[in-house]
Structure 1
Amino acid sequence: MSSKGEHQAIPLSVLLKRELANEKIERPEIFHGQANQSKKGEDFTFLKTECQRVLGDGVTTYSVFGLFDGHNGSAAAIYSKENLLNNVLSAVPPELNQDEWVAALPRALVAGFVKTDKDFQDKAQTSGTTVTFVIIEGWVVTVASVGDSRCILESAEGGIFHLSADHRLECNEEERERITTSGGEVGRLKTGGGTAIGPLRCWPGGLCLSRSIGDMDVGEFIVPVPYVKQVKLSSAGGRIVISSDGVWDALTPEMALECCRGMPPDSAASQIVKEAVQVKGLRDDTTCIVIDLQPPEKTTPPLPPPKKLGKGVFKSMFRKKSPEPSCQIDNEYSEPDVVEELFEEGSAWLSERLDTKYPICNVFKLFMCAVCQVEMKPREGISIHVGSSNSSKLRPWDGPFLCSSCQEKKEAMEGKRPSGGDGSQYSSGSE
Structure 2
Amino acid sequence: MDQILPMLDLLTPLHVSTDEVSRMRPPLVPLATLIGRELRNEKIEKPYVKYGQAALAKKGEDYFLIKPDCQRVAGDLSTSFSVFAIFDGHNGISAAIFAKEQLLDNVLSAIPQDISREEWLQALPRALVAGFVKTDIEFQQGGETSGTTVTFVIIDGWTVTVASVGDSRCILDSQGGVVSLLTVDHRLEENVEERERVTASGGEVGRLNVFGGNEVGPLRCWPGGLCLSRSIGDTDVGEFIVPIPHVKQVKISNFGGRLVIASDGIWDALSSDMAAKSCRGLPAELAAKLVVKEALRSRGLKDDTTCLVVDIIPSDILFLPPIPRKKHNMFSSLLFGKKALSSVSKSTNKLSAVGVVEELFEEGSAVLAERLGKDFPVNTNSGIHRCAVCQVDQTPADGLSVNSGSFFSPGSKPCEGPFLCSNCRKKKDAMEGKRPSRTTVTA
Q: Common fold, TM-score beyond 0.5?
A: yes
- The 3 A distance-change label for structure 1 pair 378 and 332 is closer
1-structure distance, mates of 2:74, 2:94? 35
> What is the match of residue 106 of structure 1?
125
* Aligned residue among 226, 246, 266 for 2:265: 246
> What is the match of residue 179 of structure 2?
160
| Displacement after TM superposition at 1:421 (Å) | 6.1
* Aligned residue among 183, 186, 195 for 2:205: 186
The 8 Å contact of residues 263 and 305 in structure 2, kept in 1 or not, is answered as yes
* Aligned residue among 279, 294, 301 for 1:275: 294
> What is the match of residue 11 of structure 1?
none
2-structure distance, mates of 1:20, 1:47? 28
Query: Match of 2:254, SS?
Result: coil
2-structure distance, mates of 1:306, 1:379? 64
- Larger CA deviation: 209-218 vs 25-34: 25-34
Query: Match of 1:205, SS?
Result: coil
What one-letter code is carried by the residue in structure 2 that aligns with 1:65? F
2-structure distance, mates of 1:39, 1:91? 36
| Displacement after TM superposition at 1:329 (Å) | 6.8
| Displacement after TM superposition at 1:111 (Å) | 0.3
Which digits, 9 at most, give the CA deviation of each residue in 1:227-272, with x for residues without a partner? 0000001000100000100000000111111111211111111111
**TM-score normalised by the chain length of structure 1:** 0.84
> What is the match of residue 3 of structure 1?
none
| Displacement after TM superposition at 1:195 (Å) | 1.1
> What is the match of residue 415 of structure 1?
433
2-structure distance, mates of 1:166, 1:246? 14
The 8 Å contact of residues 102 and 135 in structure 2, kept in 1 or not, is answered as yes
> What is the match of residue 29 of structure 2?
none
> What is the match of residue 399 of structure 1?
417
2-structure distance, mates of 1:286, 1:333? 38
| Displacement after TM superposition at 1:353 (Å) | 0.4
Question: How is 1:127-166 mapped onto 2 (pairs within 5 angstroms)?
Answer: 127-166=146-185
* Aligned residue among 65, 69, 92 for 1:73: 92
* Aligned residue among 347, 365, 382 for 1:330: 347
1-structure distance, mates of 2:39, 2:238? 56
- The 3 A distance-change label for structure 1 pair 326 and 88 is closer
* Structure 2 residue 218 is the aligned partner of structure 1 residue 196: no
The 8 Å contact of residues 311 and 319 in structure 2, kept in 1 or not, is answered as no
**TM-score normalised by the chain length of structure 2:** 0.82
| Displacement after TM superposition at 1:186 (Å) | 0.5
* Structure 2 residue 275 is the aligned partner of structure 1 residue 256: yes
The 8 Å contact of residues 171 and 272 in structure 2, kept in 1 or not, is answered as yes
Query: Match of 1:23, SS?
Result: coil
What one-letter code is carried by the residue in structure 2 that aligns with 1:413? M
2-structure distance, mates of 1:251, 1:176? 25
State the 4+ residue runs in structure 1 displaced beyond 6 angstroms.
18-21, 55-58, 321-325, 332-335
- The 3 A distance-change label for structure 1 pair 303 and 329 is closer
* Aligned residue among 268, 284, 287 for 1:265: 284
- The 3 A distance-change label for structure 1 pair 39 and 99 is same
Query: Match of 2:228, SS?
Result: coil
2-structure distance, mates of 1:58, 1:66? 22
2-structure distance, mates of 1:405, 1:20? 43
The 8 Å contact of residues 56 and 305 in structure 2, kept in 1 or not, is answered as yes
2-structure distance, mates of 1:277, 1:224? 30
* Structure 2 residue 366 is the aligned partner of structure 1 residue 370: no
- The 3 A distance-change label for structure 1 pair 20 and 325 is farther
> What is the match of residue 14 of structure 1?
none
Runs of at least 5 residues in structure 1 that lack an aligned partner in the other structure? 1-17, 309-320
Which digits, 9 at most, give the CA deviation of each residue in 1:148-178, with x for residues without a partner? 0000001111111111110010000010010
> What is the match of residue 316 of structure 1?
none
| Displacement after TM superposition at 1:417 (Å) | 1.8
- The 3 A distance-change label for structure 1 pair 62 and 191 is same
> What is the match of residue 40 of structure 1?
59
- The 3 A distance-change label for structure 1 pair 115 and 344 is same
- The 3 A distance-change label for structure 1 pair 230 and 307 is farther
The 8 Å contact of residues 55 and 97 in structure 1, kept in 2 or not, is answered as no
Query: Match of 2:211, SS?
Result: coil
* Aligned residue among 232, 251, 255 for 2:251: 232
Query: Match of 1:115, SS?
Result: helix
2-structure distance, mates of 1:333, 1:105? 29
- The 3 A distance-change label for structure 1 pair 201 and 49 is same
> What is the match of residue 384 of structure 1?
402
- The 3 A distance-change label for structure 1 pair 125 and 253 is same
| Displacement after TM superposition at 1:397 (Å) | 3.2
Query: Match of 1:46, SS?
Result: strand
* Structure 2 residue 328 is the aligned partner of structure 1 residue 296: no
Q: What is the aligned-residue identity percentage?
A: 60
> What is the match of residue 28 of structure 2?
none
* Aligned residue among 7, 30, 33 for 2:49: 30
Query: Match of 2:42, SS?
Result: helix
- The 3 A distance-change label for structure 1 pair 421 and 119 is closer
What one-letter code is carried by the residue in structure 2 that aligns with 1:248? W
- Larger CA deviation: 395-404 vs 139-148: 395-404
| Displacement after TM superposition at 1:57 (Å) | 8.7
2-structure distance, mates of 1:420, 1:58? 46
The 8 Å contact of residues 95 and 147 in structure 2, kept in 1 or not, is answered as yes
What one-letter code is carried by the residue in structure 2 that aligns with 1:344? E
Which digits, 9 at most, give the CA deviation of each residue in 1:68-94, with x for residues without a partner? 000000000000000000000000000
What one-letter code is carried by the residue in structure 1 that aligns with 2:347? D
> What is the match of residue 341 of structure 1?
359
1-structure distance, mates of 2:38, 2:155? 23
Which digits, 9 at most, give the CA deviation of each residue in 1:392-431, with x for residues without a partner? xx955312010000001111111112245679x6x4xxxx
What is the aligned length? 388
What one-letter code is carried by the residue in structure 1 that aligns with 2:426? E
Question: How is 1:342-361 mapped onto 2 (pairs within 5 angstroms)?
Answer: 342-356=360-374, 361=376
